[in-house]
Amino acid sequence: MEVQDKLNAVQRYVDAFETADINIIKELYAADATVEDPVGSDIHNGIDAIVAFYEGALSAGIKLQLSGTPRCAGSEVAFPFQVKGPGMSIDVIDVFKFNAEGKVVSMRAFWGPENMAS
Asked if 104 and 95 touch (Cβ cutoff 8 Å), the reply is no
How many CB atoms are located within 10 Å of the residue 6 CB? 22
* Catalytic-role residue among 13, 29, 54, 94: 13
Asked if 94 and 108 touch (Cβ cutoff 8 Å), the reply is yes
Asked if 95 and 37 touch (Cβ cutoff 8 Å), the reply is no
Q: Is 29 a catalytic residue?
A: no
CA–CA distance, 108 with 17 (Å, rounded to integer): 17
Its sign, for the CA torsion 29, 34, 37, 42, is positive
* Catalytic-role residue among 29, 37, 54, 94: 37
The residues carrying an active-site annotation are 13, 37
